[in-house]
């Protein structure tokens, strides 16, 4: 009998900047979708007995789960995922793709068997990612951290391009490959991430808007609704 009440937890991964997380849907009640918000990240997933890749989202994703179902993921730092999964981030934007569509089927079947037979699937996902990261033919863009930090602070595209030492068109291309979005969309997503961090810390919405770089609280509300698909109060509600 399933008696699990469900829940979410995460921890830092051994791959720098990445996070291992798991979500179990509660038993005995209809599963409520976990709202997955845009964050500029790519995830390696173990769900429904399969290895999957979740690309960077441009809007909220509400995956369907069964009561009691466990989903385990490794969320890469922004710009880190392509070096592991082997394709540019924009190829996976707004998609959930079976890993065997990207890697040789036999290799994925072997890895899936290893995950299924291990009591700590998150640790196996880490090992898979660490090995692929070390052997990556195309390592992550070395400027990805600078780009994300500058855009997250509200710097203009032109300013960020000058900081990195490239033209705006090349910056756009590099952002698509690393993050899945152009720099303007990436800036919106990172600003949303920052706003939610501040709001979860108990800051009043007007102060959240000012500190995260929105014009005003109404601007914050519009952007949250556009990117997260629900008002800020709904996003922050426990559950």
Report pTM.
0.89
Which residues contact residue 116 at a Cβ distance below 8 angstroms, ignoring those fewer than 6 apart?
49
The arrangement of strands across the sheet holding 70-75 comes to 7-12, 19-24, 70-75, 43-47, 50-54, 96-98
- Say what percent of the chain tops pLDDT 90: 79
pLDDT level of residue 191 (50, 70, 90 thresholds) = very high
Least confident segment among 5-9, 93-97, 105-109, 224-228: 5-9
pLDDT level of residue 113 (50, 70, 90 thresholds) = very high
pLDDT tens sequence across 144-169 = 999 999 998 889 999 999 999 999 99
pLDDT tens sequence across 16-70 = 999 999 988 777 666 566 788 999 999 999 998 999 999 999 999 888 777 778 8
Confidence (pLDDT) at 29: 61
Confidence (pLDDT) at 233: 92
For the chain, domains (ranges, CATH) are 7-134 (no CATH), 144-233 (1.10.10.60)
Angle between helices 183-200 and 144-152 (to 10 degrees): 60
Answer whether residue 239 shows pLDDT above 80. Answer: no
């Amino acid at each position: 009998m399933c008696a699990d009440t469900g829940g979410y937890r995460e921890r830092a991964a051994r791959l720098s900047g990445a996070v291992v997380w798991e979500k179990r849907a509660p038993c005995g009640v209809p599963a409520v979708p976990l709202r997955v918000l845009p964050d500029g990240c790519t995830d390696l997933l173990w769900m429904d007995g399969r290895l999957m890749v979740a690309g960077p989202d441009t809007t909220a994703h509400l995956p369907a789960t069964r009561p009691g179902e466990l989903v385990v993921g490794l969320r890469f730092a922004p710009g880190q995922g392509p070096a592991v999964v082997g394709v540019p981030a924009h190829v996976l934007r707004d998609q959930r793709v079976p890993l065997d569509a990207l890697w040789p089927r036999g290799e994925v079947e072997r890895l899936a068997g290893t995950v299924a037979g291990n009591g700590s699937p998150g640790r196996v996902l880490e090992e898979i990612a660490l090995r692929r990261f070390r052997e990556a033919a195309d390592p992550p863009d070395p400027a990805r951290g600078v780009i994300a930090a500058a855009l997250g602070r509200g710097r203009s595209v032109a300013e960020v391009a000058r900081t990195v030492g490239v033209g705006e068109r090349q910056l756009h291309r590099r952002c698509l490959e690393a993050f899945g979005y152009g720099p303007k969309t990436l800036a919106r997503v990172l600003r949303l991430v920052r706003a939610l961090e501040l709001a979860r810390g108990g800051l009043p919405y007007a102060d959240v808007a000012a500190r995260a770089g929105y014009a005003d609280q109404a601007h914050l509300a519009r952007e949250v609704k556009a990117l997260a698909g629900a008002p800020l109060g709904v996003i922050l509600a426990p559950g």
